[in-house]
Amino acid sequence: MNCAITDGYKQDICPLPTPGAYQTLWIANLSDIVGWGSGTTAGEKDSITFAPGKGLYKYQVQRDSVILRDEKQEEENGAINYTQEATFKILDMSLAARDAVDAMNGVDVVVIGRTKADTFEICGFDNGARLAVNVRSTEAADLGHLITIRAINQPGLMKHFYEGTSVAATITLLESYVVGS
C-alpha cells in the first residue's frame, strides 16, 4: 500500500521521516535576490532570480551539525510571528573560515538547507536572517565556529524550495546558482 495521509496529520503504514539535515547549506545575501519563482504548492518556491553576477554561497559544514527550526512567538497584542533558525558548525579554524563568518556580521541573508526528509527549507525568506550566534573555540569537543543564523518576526513557518520535478533536479538548480564556496 502506498503511503498516504488518511487521518488529519497522521500517515498510516509509512515510517516517520528521518530527523536531521544534510551538511550542505546555500546562503545568499538578501539584497542580491531580485525575485523568487512560485512553486506549484502554496509556501513553495521553485526558482531564484539574482542581480547580475550574484548568487548563492555554498557551505559544507560538519556532518550532523545542521539544525533548521521554527518557533512560534506571540506578542502581547495577540500578533503571531515566527523565529526561524539555521544552526551549524564550521570546523575549519583557518583565516579564510574566520573571514567568511566575519563577513556575515550585520548582513541580511537567506539560508537554504536540505532536511533528511528531502525538503529544502528557506530560513529568512520574508525579511532576511542575521548571524545571531558565533561561538569560536579551540577546545577539542567544541573546535570551530558554532553558528546560528536567526530570522525574527517572520510571518509563518519556513517556506520550501523545490524545483518541481525531483530532489536531484532541485540540487542541480541550487548548484547552478553558486558563485562561491
- What pLDDT does 180 receive? 85
Burial (CB < 10 A; 0-12, 13-18, 19+), residue 85, is buried
* pLDDT tens for each residue of 72-101: 998 888 889 999 999 999 999 999 999 999
**Residue-averaged pLDDT of the chain:** 91
Mean per-residue pLDDT, 15-33: 91
HSE, side-chain direction, 13 A CA sphere, residue 132: 15
Q: Residue 147: name the closest of 103, 82, 95 by CA.
A: 103
AA letter at 1:
M
* pLDDT tens for each residue of 93-133: 999 999 999 999 999 999 999 999 999 999 999 999 999 99
What is the residue extent of each domain of the chain? 17-180
Burial (CB < 10 A; 0-12, 13-18, 19+), residue 171, is middle
